[in-house]
Amino acid sequence: MNNSFTQKIDPSHPAQTTRPDNITPRSKPLPDITTNSQANLNYTIDQVGMSAMQMIARVNTKDNQTLNLPAKVDVYVNLNDTHSKGIHMSRLYAVMYQFLKNETLNPALLENVTDQLIQSQKGISSSAYVTIKFDYPIEHQSLLSQTPGLRHYPITIYLEKHQNKSFLFKLGWTLTYSSACPCSTALSEQFIKDNLNQTLVTNPQQPLTLDFLTKQNIISAIPHSQRSYADILLSFDTIPKDFSLEEFILSSEAIIKTGVQTSVKRSDEQEFARINAENLMFCEDAVRILKDFYLKQTMIKHFSIKVSHHESLHPHNAVAIVSQQT
């Protein structure tokens, strides 16, 4: 039995079809309902456009390399003309596609794309809104053995422009870190002390050797820790010329001190346990640490931070939220 294909397919045209002989190419323009029709109800629309467009974001690293990262893009404009049936959505796609294809995500150039989106609507729109989401990879080395590994950081860039008014740029990302519970630590320490005291009352002649004090029946309670998340959103009035996405991420991790690891050896895991013991945190502690850091960053106009500790003790999360107009 011959299972080979006899028809040759050009891979550059995966959906080849043949136009029937009785259909000739059109000589007249195709109908344009958006342009040639009017709205039945004469209202303006705050935002209209497309969400989750699949695109590639070209992002420069701090080492001046360019990464091509899969991105999801939302783009909207307002509709001011109450008589217009709708906006020209395909123009929004074309503007974003060409911009992301030809430019890196340099904040200094991002205002240009919002202007182009407004202009593409030929007078029926005066505002543009863009959200670009992608994962940004950063290579890390483990704490002691310097074993390399990769972390992906969910990034959101938000743009807003109103014609003849200021441009708004927001940057958001999620920081993942470990938080050891101060309450659980104190309770564990108390239980260990009580257990040790009871052991010594029962056997007062027991030598207090290091070996004895570190036995499993003496270290009889362990505090709980949890994977924790900080959703950080920063707003800028003026975008700094030396803007570095990577530096914003790494500086936040450095302040919180317990960022999660990638590949580790036993020595790294032990060091991670030590660092967590030095930095016990309720969600209130974590959100205050981050707030204090961002209050000192003069380039930031506004910030909001939501911290979520995914508790191992409970099926729910401990959450703290702060925001600040600087």
pLDDT in tens, 68-91: 999 999 999 999 999 999 999 999
* Res. 11: pLDDT tops 70: no
**148 in the same domain as 233:** yes
**238 in the same domain as 202:** no
**265 in the same domain as 202:** no
With respect to residue 66, please indicate whether it lies within any of the assigned structural domains.
Answer: yes
Between strands 225-236 and 317-325, the pairing is unpaired
Q: Are 261 and 272 in contact (CB under 8 A)?
A: yes
With respect to residue 287, please indicate whether it lies within any of the assigned structural domains.
Answer: yes
**198 in the same domain as 136:** no
pLDDT in tens, 267-323: 999 999 999 999 999 999 999 999 999 999 988 999 999 999 999 999 999 999 999
**281 in the same domain as 159:** yes
Domain hosting residue 202, numbered range: 184-213
Domain count, the chain: 2
The CATH number of the domain holding residue 146 is 3.10.270.10
With respect to residue 2, please indicate whether it lies within any of the assigned structural domains.
Answer: no
**188 in the same domain as 170:** no
With respect to residue 28, please indicate whether it lies within any of the assigned structural domains.
Answer: no
With respect to residue 172, please indicate whether it lies within any of the assigned structural domains.
Answer: yes
Whole-angstrom distance, CA of residue 88 vs CA of residue 92: 7
Query: 190: buried, middle or exposed (CB in 10 Å: 19+, 13-18, 0-12)?
Result: exposed
**200 in the same domain as 149:** no
Domain boundary among 165, 192, 213: 213
* Cα angle value 148/63/258 (rounded, 5°): 45
**264 in the same domain as 152:** yes
* Res. 262: pLDDT tops 70: yes
Quick one: average pLDDT of 28-45?
77
pTM of structure:
0.83
**229 in the same domain as 95:** yes
**161 in the same domain as 113:** yes
* Res. 326: pLDDT tops 60: no
**236 in the same domain as 114:** yes
**139 in the same domain as 196:** no
With respect to residue 3, please indicate whether it lies within any of the assigned structural domains.
Answer: no
Nearest to 276 by CA among 313, 222, 215, 319: 222
With respect to residue 171, please indicate whether it lies within any of the assigned structural domains.
Answer: yes
Residue 253 forms beta bridges with which residues? none
With respect to residue 237, please indicate whether it lies within any of the assigned structural domains.
Answer: yes
SS3 210: helix
